[in-house]
A and B are shown apart, each in its own frame.
Chain A
Amino acid sequence: EIVLTQSPGTLSLSPGERAALSCRASQDININYLVWYQQKPGQAPRVLIFGASNRATGIPDRFSGSGSGTDFTLTISRLEPEDFAVYYCQQYGDSLTFGGGTKVEIK
């Protein structure tokens, strides 16, 4: 089973700042099957990025995904108030696993 490790566990930032969230895999991942989600309390996960770097429909361009192999990054270029949430990475190329999540909180 591929283990996904997200870091940091919590990111404390102010609106307007840049956020960089890491997702590291225990072995190489097919980038076509790497997804980033945003989740707010009481809501289902929302797809932000699929295929490691493709924004889903309606996702603002301040969100970007990058990476390959075992190291992937979700970047939020300038945090807006609605971006404070929990973010998960997921791979489904080899079974299906999720990272433990990164909480982006207001500093």
Chain B
Amino acid sequence: QLVESGGGLVRPGGSLRLSCAASGFTLDTYWMHWVRQVSGGGLVWVSRINTDGSDTTYAGSVKGRFIISRDNTKNTLYLQMNSLRPEDTAVYYCASFTAMVPIWGQGTLVTVSS
């Protein structure tokens, strides 16, 4: 199971850090991803990280503003979101596609508004 936290209301230009805690399994053998979904919209990939954190990739819309990281000792994935924009408003999901069956969290809502 994956459980996200850290979402909330933030002003444009502000920062927020999301967390994704794993339970029932250890994250250290899983590549991890963040996916977001605006209200009424589709699913959009945001970022991914390899098992030891040495390799990260970002969607163009967040590159340079978001940082994905992980702490395998805490079994937790993170997404540091800086310079937030209204268009970053969405539900953010952490997910893994390493196993045969994808694993998703329940999502956390981020609202960027003044």
- Give A residues with C-beta under 8 Å from B: 33, 35, 43-45, 47, 50-51, 54, 56-57, 88, 90, 92, 95-101
Q: Residue B43 contacts which of A47, A54, A56, A98 (CB distance < 8 angstroms)?
A: A98
> How many interface contacts (CB-CB < 8 Å) are there between A and B?
42
Asked if A44 and B106 sit within 8 Å, CB to CB, the answer is: yes
Asked if A96 and B97 sit within 8 Å, CB to CB, the answer is: yes
Within 8 A of A (CB), among B59-114: 93, 97, 100-102, 104-107
CA distance A92 to B107 in the complex (A): 20
5 more A-B residue pairs beyond the given contacts A47-B102, A54-B100, with a C-beta to C-beta distance below 8 A: A44-B105, A47-B101, A88-B43, A96-B48, A99-B42
Asked if A50 and B107 sit within 8 Å, CB to CB, the answer is: no
Question: Known: A44-B106, A96-B33. Contact between A56 and B42, CB under 8 A?
Answer: no
Asked if B102 and A50 sit within 8 Å, CB to CB, the answer is: yes
CA distance A92 to B99 in the complex (A): 12
A95 surroundings in chain B (CB, below 8 A): 45
Asked if A44 and B107 sit within 8 Å, CB to CB, the answer is: yes
B9 surroundings in chain A (CB, below 8 A): none
Closest to A32 in B: B100
Asked if A100 and B42 sit within 8 Å, CB to CB, the answer is: yes
Nearest Cβ on chain B to A42's Cβ, whole angstroms: 9
Q: Residue A44 contacts which of B33, B44, B93, B101 (CB distance < 8 angstroms)?
A: B93
CA distance A32 to B9 in the complex (A): 39
B44 surroundings in chain A (CB, below 8 A): 98
